[in-house]
Amino acid sequence: MNYQETLSWMFNRLPMFQTQGKNALNNKLDNILTFTSALGNPQTKFKSLHIAGTNGKGSSSSMLASILQEAGYKVGLYTSPHLKDFRERIKIDGKEIPESYVVNFITKNKSFLEKHSLSFFEMTVGMAFSYFAEEKVDIAVIEVGLGGRFDSTNIITPEVSLITNISKDHTDILGDTLPKIAFEKAGIIKQNVPVVISEYQEETAPVFTARAKEIKAPIIFANHIETSLTTDLQGAYQEKNIKGVIAVIELLIHQGWDITPENIAQGLLHVVHNTNLKGRWQTLGSYPTIVCDTGHNVGGLTYVMEQLKKQTYTNLHIVVGFVKEKDVNSVLELFPKEATYYFCSPAIARGLNVNTLKEIATAKGLQGEAYSSVAEALNVAKAQALPTDFIFVGGSTFVVAEVV
C-alpha cells in the first residue's frame, strides 16, 4: 500500500469517532493495552506529560512542546483531531511523522488491528507511542482524545498531568453536569504524580481535590499565577492556558529539567513556528479580515465571542456549521444578532444538516442563508464583504479543517 491507500484503509476500516460518533468508542483500556503489549510497551520507554480538559488542551499541549523544544529537548507531540493530514497528530520537534512510517506501521500491524477490532484512535495512539519510543524522544506531550478515564492515552505515567478546564461537551458520553465531566477528566490523575488545574472552577475543584487526595497526587490550581508572558497564539482565552503551562514547567524545573526563563518566554512566543499548530484564532486573510477558530462548545465559544467583540470592523460576517451532537440551541445563544450568517455543514457524516441549523438559528434571531458547503459559504461571504469587514469561520473543528 502507498500512503493514500493506507489512509483509505485506516479511515474506512477502523471505527472512527469523527464519522461514527460514540459508536466508535470503547469504554475500557483492554484494547490499547493488548495492542501496546504486542508493540513491546512503547509507552514505558519515554517520559511524558498528559493533558486533558474540555477546552485549551490542544493549545496548552503545543505551548508545552514549544517551550521544551526551546530548551533543547527532543519533543514528541500527540494531538487530535487533525485538520488536513493525519500526520498532524504525531510530531517530533514540530515535524510530522513520515508517510513511510505510517505505511510501514499499518502494513506490519494490519492483521492485528483487524483481528482485535481496534478503533482508529486506539491504532493512532499505538502508532504515536511506537514512533516516540523508536525515535528516543526526551519527552512527549500527550493530549487526551476525549474524557480521560477511559481514553486510550491513559496508559502512561507522566511526569506531570494537566487539566485545563471543564465545560459541557460530549455530554452524551461524559455526563450532563460539570462534576460528572470533571470526574472523567480526573481519571488521568496518577498516584504520586503532580497534577495542575489551569482554571479554578467552584463546581469542579472538589472533584479534582478529592481524587488527588485519594491517590496522593500533589495538586496545584494555576489561577493564582501572576505572569506578563504572552504567546503568539491569538485570543484572550490563552491567558488561562499560559498559567497552567507555566505551573507545569515550574514542576518540571523542580524535577531537574533544564528550562530557563528565556526558554519559557521564547517557547510561548513561537508556538506556531515550533509546532505548526493551526486553527486557534488563525488569520486566513486581510481586506476583509478572515479569522477561524476551532472553539466548538459553550465554554470555547464564549471565549471566542469575547475575542470577536474586541475586533474593529464595518460589518460582521459569520460562516458557521456544527456536528449533530452539539447543544446547538445553547451555543447559538452566544452568537451576535447583528452579523450576517452563512450556514453550512462540515463534509462529514456527523455534520448537522444545514437547513436544520438555519431553522434553529433563525428562531434565535440570527439572519442568513444556507449553503451547500463550507467553501461555498466562505466564498459568498468574501464576495459580499467590504475590505473593512470581518469574516469569522467556526462552530466546529471540521468546518475549520475545510478552510485552513
User: Going residue by residue through the chain (404 aa), what tens digit of pLDDT does each one get?
Assistant: 999 999 999 999 887 655 555 554 567 899 999 999 999 999 999 999 999 998 899 999 999 999 999 999 999 999 999 999 999 999 999 999 999 999 999 999 999 999 998 999 999 999 999 999 999 999 999 999 987 899 999 999 999 999 999 886 655 556 678 999 999 999 999 999 999 999 999 999 999 999 999 999 999 999 999 999 999 998 777 999 999 999 999 999 999 999 999 999 999 999 999 999 999 899 999 999 999 999 988 888 998 999 999 999 999 999 999 998 778 999 999 999 999 999 999 999 889 999 999 999 999 999 999 999 999 999 999 999 999 999 999 999 999 999 99
Residues 337 and 389 in one domain: yes
pLDDT at 397: 93
Residues 212 and 300 in one domain: no
Burial of 261 (0-12, 13-18, 19+ CB in 10 A): exposed
- Characterize the bridge pairing of strands 75-78 and 47-52: unpaired
Number of domains forming the structure of the chain: 2
CATH number for 77? 3.40.1190.10
- Tell me the β-bridge partners of 338: none
- Characterize the bridge pairing of strands 340-343 and 316-320: parallel
Report the alpha-carbon distance of residue 374 to residue 388 in Å, rounded: 22
pLDDT at 103: 99
pLDDT at 17: 52
Range of the domain at 295: 282-400
- Check: CB of residue 279 under 8 Å from CB of residue 293: yes
- Check: CB of residue 232 under 8 Å from CB of residue 66: no
Residues 316 and 191 in one domain: no
Please provide the DSSP assignment of 223-272 as one string.
GG-------SS-STTHHHHHHHHHHHHHHHHHHT----HHHHHHHHHTHH
Residues 246 and 353 in one domain: no
Q: Which three cell numbers stand for residue 84?
A: 488536513
- Eight-state DSSP code of residue 18: H
pLDDT at 21: 52
Residues 177 and 102 in one domain: yes
Residues 266 and 394 in one domain: no
Last residue of a domain, one of 249, 275, 301: 275
Residues 247 and 392 in one domain: no
pLDDT at 297: 85
**What is the three-class DSSP state of 169?**
coil
Residues 167 and 202 in one domain: yes
Q: Which three cell numbers stand for residue 305?
A: 465571542
pLDDT at 271: 98
Give residue for cell 474586541. Answer: 310
Residues 238 and 215 in one domain: yes
Q: Which three cell numbers stand for residue 253?
A: 524545573
Residues 236 and 286 in one domain: no
Last residue of a domain, one of 250, 275, 300: 275
Residues 256 and 366 in one domain: no
Cα separation values, 113 from 33, 97, 129, Å: 13, 20, 16
**What is the three-class DSSP state of 23?**
helix
Cα separation values, 126 from 20, 121, 154, Å: 20, 9, 12
The beta strand positions in 89-193, using DSSP E, are 90-92, 95-96, 139-143, 160-163
CATH number for 365? 3.90.190.20
Last residue of a domain, one of 275, 295, 311: 275
Residues 153 and 262 in one domain: yes
